Chains A and B, each alone.
Chain A
Amino acid sequence: NAGVTQTPKFQVLKTGQSMTLQCAQDMNHNSMYWYRQDPGMGLRLIYYSASEGTTDKGEVPNGYNVSRLNKREFSLRLESAAPSQTSVYFCASSEQRESDTQYFGPGTRLTVL
């Protein structure tokens, strides 16, 4: 089992460019999440999906969109990147019926110039 995988690992964008961060999990989990991690801020929830076909905003959703393509895949899109979106992005998944434990991918380091 690969667990949670994310692509790409690194990305540099110019202000105004768009991109999609991909996430996939092979644990048959219902719930998936996108977080960003910034120095001194911990992990902040951007969006989450409790099940295929549903998505909800987290703490910091502005400037992002998400798609729960199927049970395995949950993508995060930046339509017009801004320097404030420079961060490390983590995807996670969990099986809510068992516990609130979330399992994380390795992260995508994004720099917006």
Chain B
Amino acid sequence: DQQVKQNSPSLSVQEGRISILNCDYTNSMFDYFLWYKKYPAEGPTFLISISSIKDKNEDGRFTVFLNKSAKHLSLHIVPSQPGDSAVYFCAASNFGNEKLTFGTGTRLTIIP
């Protein structure tokens, strides 16, 4: 029972263009969502988060959008840079219950 789904295992985008990574969830109790970035042979690093009281959160080139009615969130990276090539995981929690549920990840490749 995959409560957080990332249906695209991989995505290739040209440098300078927009990268859009998608994530769907099924548990309506989730109210806090995070994106992590992972390079090979390293641990995941926190990128950006959003609470369910918001529908958008920006941090520099990264923006996360949340559509609660569709149970869908997306991460926009603009402009995309070669250093953005990594695996991106979305994660969700019911804030305060101490556990995150992760998606299976999307491998983003930025083409120079």
Contacts and interface: CB of A to CB of B under 8 A. Distances in A.
Contacts of A103: 46
Contact of B43 (A45, A48, A106): A106
A50 B98 CA distance: 7
Nearest to B103: A42
A43 B6 CA distance: 13
B104 A42 contact: yes
Contacts of A104: 36, 43-45
Contacts of A100: 32, 34, 49, 93, 95-96, 98, 100
A96 B96 contact: yes
A58 B100 CA distance: 10
Interface in A74-113: 90, 92, 94, 96, 99-107
Contacts, number: 58
Contact of A99 (B42, B49, B89, B104): B49
A4 interface: yes
Interface residues of B, number: 25
Contacts of B25: none
Nearest to B105: A42
B34 A101 contact: yes
Interface of B: 4, 6, 9, 32, 34, 36, 41-46, 49, 89, 91, 93, 95-96, 98-100, 102-105
Interface of A: 4, 31, 33, 40-45, 48, 50, 58, 90, 92, 94, 96, 99-107
A87 to B, nearest CB: 14
Contacts of A41: 104
A58 B99 CA distance: 8
Contacts of A44: 102
Name the residue among A40, A44, A94, A102 with the largest chain B CB count within 10 angstroms. Answer: A102
Nearest to B44: A104
B43 A101 contact: no
B49 A48 contact: no
